[in-house]
Chains A and B, each alone.
Chain A
Amino acid sequence: GAGVSQSPSNKVTEKGKDVELRCDPISGHTALYWYRQSLGQGLEFLIYFQGNSAPDKSGLPSDRFSAERTGGSVSTLTIQRTQQEDSAVYLCASSSPQDYEQYFGPGTRLTVT
């Protein structure tokens, strides 16, 4: 079946602009996660959604970052007033409530110039 998809695959933006990153999880997966990975670094947890529960936003680095998940499916991560330090690969993952094995999308490579 279809895996997790993310768009765009690459995004170059100017400092100060807003960007929106999209994630389409595996059908039936109730949990959705966003992570950030800088070059040569590990995965940094940003936010996760589980069903209709309030999202865990504890990893968002600043109030410039926000995310929503509409209809329990597609999620959008928004970064306002982008800074150069926001440059990274943003990865989305989804998992089922049975086993919480996370399946990752291919990521969005964000470059802020």
Chain B
Amino acid sequence: RKEVEQDPGPFNVPEGATVAFNCTYSNSASQSFFWYRQDCRKEPKLLMSVYSSGNEDGRFTAQLNRASQYISLLIRDSKLSDSATYLCAVNTPGTYKYIFGTGTRLKVLA
């Protein structure tokens, strides 16, 4: 099993839709989680940290499910500009080394 896994997609959704992605991780002791957004041929940009209590930033909500070892990202009211690849990052326990998932590609359609 890979340390961090994501469904590669693509997820094709109409504008205004709600879409959710999951990212599973193998090490139950991981403590630190992030979501990044990467546009084509650009560097990843930090989208959200993922806190154990869950966190929300506008249309974006991130949650952590420790029991099932996954984090999720929910996007409400999708915009065309949300089209990108979404990467999750999970730390290796006891270190600040992060393993990134291979990303989930989202296409928001007009």
Give A residues with C-beta under 8 Å from B: 31, 33, 35, 41-43, 45, 48, 50, 56, 58-59, 91, 95, 99-107
Nearest CB in chain A to that of B101: its residue: A42
Give B residues with C-beta under 8 Å from A: 32, 34, 42-46, 49, 87, 89, 91, 95-103
Considering residues A48, A50, A104, which has the most beta carbons from chain B within 10 angstroms of its beta carbon? Answer: A104
Nearest CB in chain B to that of A104: its residue: B43
Q: Are B46 and A42 in contact (CB under 8 A)?
A: no
From residue B55, how far is it (CB to closest CB) to chain A in Å? 13
Given the complex, which residues of A lie within 8 Å of B34, measured CB to CB? 101-102
Q: Are A103 and B100 in contact (CB under 8 A)?
A: no
Known contacts A43-B44, A91-B43, A106-B43: A99-B49 contact under CB 8 Å: yes
Q: Are B87 and A43 in contact (CB under 8 A)?
A: yes
Known contacts A43-B44, A43-B87: A102-B98 contact under CB 8 Å: yes
Known contacts A102-B46, A107-B43: A58-B98 contact under CB 8 Å: no
Q: When chains A and B are docked, how far (Å) is the Cα of A38 from the Cα of B5?
A: 17
Q: When chains A and B are docked, how far (Å) is the Cα of A56 from the Cα of B91?
A: 13
From residue A23, how far is it (CB to closest CB) to chain B in Å? 12
Nearest CB in chain A to that of B6: its residue: A42
Given the complex, which residues of A lie within 8 Å of B95, measured CB to CB? 56
Known contacts A99-B49, A104-B45: A42-B100 contact under CB 8 Å: yes
